[in-house]
Amino acid sequence: MVGCRYFHPVHLLTYLLIISATYASQGDRSPAHTQCLRHCHDNICKHDPPPSGILKNPKFNMLVWDCESECEYSCMWKTVTLFQMHDYAIPQFHGKWPFARVGGIQEPASMFFSLLNAAAHLYSIVQFRKLVPSIAPMYWTWHGYFSVALNAWFWSTIFHTRDFLFTQHMDYISAAGLVTYQLYAYFARVLIYRHTFYTRAIAFVTAFLFFLHSYYMLFVHFDFGLHVRVSVFIGILNALAWFSWSAYVWTKQPYVWKACLTLMLLFLCVALELLDFAPIAWVFDAHSLWHAGTAPLTLLWYSFIVDDCNYMLKSGRQAS
Ligand SMILES: [Zn+2]
């Protein structure tokens, strides 16, 4: 009979320990996890200094693995083992999958791929500077894009190394800054042949809205749902804008296929992230694969902006 085993007192206890989490779909809310944490805190962390067992990796202390976070980490795996033993789905903890840390790095794959993205931007800006004369239109606008992107990938690397509220907020805000700047770059590009007043007005409006959003998120209330909706809205607007412009100039500027392909593949990567599966080998989850996917797309995007800057230059335009 299904569920009969839970009538054994030991199994019943186990069942009670994890059943509420099954409904809540959150490992950190399961009684097994909270009890483990309480035990760890009361019996280990309250000792001054804590017994050496819990802090068995003192070199990790550099990455702020203190007694409490070591308790979180070991209790997370104890809870996962318990869930697996009873054939429950792998639970998430505080909205994240359980990851095996490497050298104290909390999400090694996402951290590595974030670094790879930063490297892709660094490599690409060097190529851009080699191939595009500094008098080309959009030359400095794309340098601005590089700076904003490097900042975003820097915080992404830090956040995936160690997840704290501060590093999380900096990652989210910096990523929103990147999509906002891409939208600004679109307007700067399509208004390039107009008076600079229009570009400056757009720069002012986008920067103002971005700082308003960041101020609200960081100092009033960090509404994660609102933040995601705003970022997705700007991302979709950005893609639609570049797609329509590409369709409009396709015959004269055939290289725009690079921009279209970048955006289409970017959407595929977003779709991959929506699959949100438990980490393969406790390392590779959908989010890390999304970061892996954006690194090669960076090269394609810069290849497009190199062609575009040189096209404008050949058309007799110079930076004003
Ligand atoms: Zn990330």
Per-residue pLDDT of the chain (320 residues; tens, 9 = 90+): 323 333 333 333 333 333 333 334 468 888 889 999 898 888 888 776 665 555 555 555 667 788 888 888 989 999 999 898 888 888 899 888 999 998 889 999 999 999 999 999 999 999 999 999 999 999 999 999 999 999 999 999 999 999 888 999 999 999 999 999 999 999 999 988 777 888 889 999 999 999 999 999 889 988 888 888 898 899 999 999 999 999 999 999 999 999 999 999 998 888 888 888 889 999 999 999 999 999 999 999 999 999 999 999 998 765 44
Based on the fold, state whether residues 75 and 115 are members of the same structural domain.
no
Based on the fold, state whether residues 8 and 79 are members of the same structural domain.
yes
- The reported pLDDT for the residue numbered 43 is 82
Residue 45 lies in a domain: yes
Whole-number Å distance, alpha carbon 268 to ligand 1 midpoint, is: 16
Residue 93 lies in a domain: no
**DSSP string across 111-179:** HHHHHHHHHHHHHHHHHHHHHS-TTSTTHHHHHHHHHHHHHHHHHHHHHHHS--HHHHHHHHHHHHHHH
- The residue range of the domain holding 143 is 108-314
Please count the structural domains in the chain: 2
Whole-number Å distance, alpha carbon 295 to ligand 1 midpoint, is: 13
Residue 97 lies in a domain: no
Residue entry with tokens 């590595």 = 112
Based on the fold, state whether residues 73 and 141 are members of the same structural domain.
no
Based on the fold, state whether residues 197 and 267 are members of the same structural domain.
yes
- The reported pLDDT for the residue numbered 89 is 87
Based on the fold, state whether residues 189 and 301 are members of the same structural domain.
yes
- The reported pLDDT for the residue numbered 58 is 57
The SS3 assignment for 93 reads: strand
Last residue of a domain, one of 52, 85, 118: 85
- Residues 6 or more apart from 225 whose CB is under 8 A from it? none
Based on the fold, state whether residues 56 and 185 are members of the same structural domain.
no
Measured torsion, CA atoms of residues 36, 42, 47, 49, in degrees rounded to the nearest 10: 40
Whole-number Å distance, alpha carbon 156 to ligand 1 midpoint, is: 5
- The reported pLDDT for the residue numbered 144 is 97
Based on the fold, state whether residues 150 and 294 are members of the same structural domain.
yes
- The reported pLDDT for the residue numbered 57 is 59
- The reported pLDDT for the residue numbered 21 is 37
Last residue of a domain, one of 53, 85, 117: 85
User: Which spans in the chain are helix H?
Assistant: 9-24, 31-40, 67-85, 108-131, 139-161, 165-190, 196-215, 224-249, 257-275, 286-314
Distance, in Å, from the CA atom of 302 to the CA atom of 255, rounded to the nearest integer, reads 12
Whole-number Å distance, alpha carbon 274 to ligand 1 midpoint, is: 13
- The reported pLDDT for the residue numbered 277 is 87
Give ion ligand 1 contacts, CB < 5 A: 156
Residue 100 lies in a domain: no
Assign residue 152 the CATH number of its domain.
1.20.1070
Residue 191 lies in a domain: yes
Whole-number Å distance, alpha carbon 33 to ligand 1 midpoint, is: 25
Based on the fold, state whether residues 63 and 17 are members of the same structural domain.
yes
- The reported pLDDT for the residue numbered 2 is 29
Residue 29 lies in a domain: yes
- The reported pLDDT for the residue numbered 134 is 95
Distance, in Å, from the CA atom of 237 to the CA atom of 231, rounded to the nearest integer, reads 10
Q: What is the pLDDT of residues 103-158, one digit of tens each?
A: 889 999 999 999 999 999 999 999 999 999 999 999 999 999 999 999 999 999 99
Distance, in Å, from the CA atom of 116 to the CA atom of 59, rounded to the nearest integer, reads 25
Distance, in Å, from the CA atom of 187 to the CA atom of 237, rounded to the nearest integer, reads 12
Based on the fold, state whether residues 79 and 113 are members of the same structural domain.
no
Q: HSE, CB side, 13 Å, CA atoms: give it for residue 108.
A: 13
Based on the fold, state whether residues 182 and 271 are members of the same structural domain.
yes
Based on the fold, state whether residues 70 and 134 are members of the same structural domain.
no
Is 298 within 8 Å of 120 (Cβ atoms)? yes
Last residue of a domain, one of 85, 117, 135: 85
Residue 90 lies in a domain: no
Residue 23 lies in a domain: yes
The SS3 assignment for 30 reads: coil
Distance, in Å, from the CA atom of 63 to the CA atom of 55, rounded to the nearest integer, reads 13
Based on the fold, state whether residues 47 and 113 are members of the same structural domain.
no
| Of 103, 120, 114, the residue nearest 158 (C-alpha) | 114
Is 67 within 8 Å of 45 (Cβ atoms)? yes
